[in-house]
Structures are given as C-alpha cells and as structure tokens.
Amino acid sequence: MAPILIIDPGHGGIDPGGGSNKLFTEKDLTLKISLYQFQRMHELNIPTAVTRTTDQTLSSEERTALVRNSGARYCISNHINAGGGRGSEVIYSIYASAALPRKISEALEAEGMPNRRIFTRTLPNDPSKDYYFMHRDTGCVETVIVEYGFADNPLDADKLNRDWRDLAEAVIRAFCEHTNLAYRPPEKTGSNPPPVVLPGNGEEPDWKREAIEWMYEQGLLTNEDWRNRADEPLPLWAEAVILRRLFEKMRG
C-alpha cells in the first residue's frame, strides 16, 4: 500500500544542518521528531514512509527521488531554523494551497511555539519555480517544510529541547485534521514516559512537594513531566536551565 505521507528528517550524516546549538544538532533533532511522528502514524494506522531512519547522508537528488518515488500524496520535511528570528515557519510550494501549512502553524502555536510566518518563495531568476529543492524537485507530492523554531533564539531553543515531542505531535494532529484521517492523542504510556509511581502510597512528604511546587511557581521549572518525579535526577541540561533562570532572576 502506497504511503499517504512521507516524513523527511532534514539533513543527516555529514550535513549537520544550520539549526544547531549547544543543546542539539539540527540533524539529530529532526530525526528524533521524524521518528516520533513515524511511530505515531503507525499507531494511527496511516501508511507512512520516511526518507531516513539513521544519521545518514542524503544528497538533495537522493532525497527528492525518495519523496518523488514514494507514491505518497504529502511530504513533511522537518527542519530547525537559524539566523535570528523567533517562532515556527512553514514553507509551501507556489503550486500548493496554504491550508495545510496554516493548520500546522496553528497547531504549533497551540503548543506554545509562536508562528513567525507561512510563505512560498520562488527562484530569483525564474518566478515559475520554487526556491527550495524540496518543493521544486519532489514532483506531484505536496511538500511542506516545517521549521519548528530558531536554534539561535534562547526561548525557541529551550522550547524545542524540552517539548519537541509535543511539537511533533501537533504536526501529526494538524495533518490528520487536514486530511480527515482519524486522530487520537498518544496514550500515556507512549513516547512521553509516564510519571514514575514510587513504592508505597506514592505521596511525597510535604517538604519535598513544597520545594518542587516552589520551583514551578518561580518559573524555574516549567516542564510538567518533572512534577511527579521527586526522587529522580534531572538531566544536566535541565539543571543548567534552572540555574540560568535563577541567575537571571537574581540579576534582575
């Protein structure tokens, strides 16, 4: 059965992508987002393909051939932006409609990633051709490039690093809505690990609870995943985020 959608994790292999920073590399984050989406589409029983599943180099010719020959109706090409901006950008072909890009941008916005713009772009010397090869050379597949946010914007970078699963999910939701395919949210036991239930009654002593709630009230900790994991260590990056927020608060 031909896939309806082919997901394209941008870059890969020798090409790390420009949307990288100290927290992540574009090629790794786009792969994580894409594999998450691929898995979710599988759960939703929607035939879906993917251009790469590993840290693999794909030339633009190889990539567009995979999309063109996939038999898919749509392609979502996942990217992380850079270059001074804030928020998501969704780019579509001059020959396509803005409907799916608009849905995607709204879904990302609902997950807390503001939308910067949705747009099309043509070759400077030929206004009949798309600027991006993913639009120009992917034949009749409707390809949408999703730039989830800016790696060089601290707010976006933090959001992408913490909530990439929610953003990836938002795109799936938007896609299903646009194509009238049945959507169900992920089960609690899905890719977002459930809060660990502690031995005993699972209740935290008050002093632990209070200290944790204080961190949330102060905005030092924002990811809800941590709230019920009083006895679990935070990854180093999360500690670094907390310390940086504290430092910035104290400096006023």
| Of residues 17 and 149, the one with the C-beta less far from Zn ion | 17
For residue 33, the minimal CB distance to Zn ion (Å) is 12
Q: Considering only residues 75 through 114, tell me which ones interact with Zn ion, judged by CB under 5 A.
A: 79
For residue 26, the minimal CB distance to Zn ion (Å) is 5
For residue 240, the minimal CB distance to Zn ion (Å) is 25
For residue 30, the minimal CB distance to Zn ion (Å) is 7
Q: Which of 3, 9, 10, 87 binds Zn ion (CB under 5 A)?
A: 10
Measured distance CA(33)–CA(139) in Å, rounded:
24
What's the number of CA atoms in the CB half-sphere (13 Å) around residue 12?
21
Decide: 162 and 95 in contact? Cβ < 8 Å. no
Stretch that binds Zn ion, among 15-23, 166-174, 196-204, 213-221 (CB under 5 A): 15-23
Measured distance CA(95)–CA(105) in Å, rounded:
19
At 149 the three-state DSSP class reads strand
Tokens, residue 110: 């609902």
Residues in the chain: 252
Of all residues in the shown chain, the one whose CB is closest to Zn ion is 79
Tokens, residue 180: 């009238």
Binding residue count for Zn ion, defined by CB under 5 A? 3
Stretch that binds Zn ion, among 33-41, 74-82, 84-92, 152-160 (CB under 5 A): 74-82
| Of residues 3 and 9, the one with the C-beta less far from Zn ion | 9
Decide: 50 and 7 in contact? Cβ < 8 Å. yes
Measured distance CA(111)–CA(17) in Å, rounded:
24
| Of residues 93 and 241, the one with the C-beta less far from Zn ion | 93
Q: Considering only residues 104 through 163, tell me which ones interact with Zn ion, judged by CB under 5 A.
A: none
For residue 15, the minimal CB distance to Zn ion (Å) is 9
Q: Which of 3, 12, 17, 101 binds Zn ion (CB under 5 A)?
A: 17
Strand-strand pairing, 88-92 and 74-81: unpaired
Measured distance CA(11)–CA(155) in Å, rounded:
23
Q: Considering only residues 30 through 49, tell me which ones interact with Zn ion, judged by CB under 5 A.
A: none
**Site residues (vs Zn ion, CB under 5 A):** 10, 17, 79
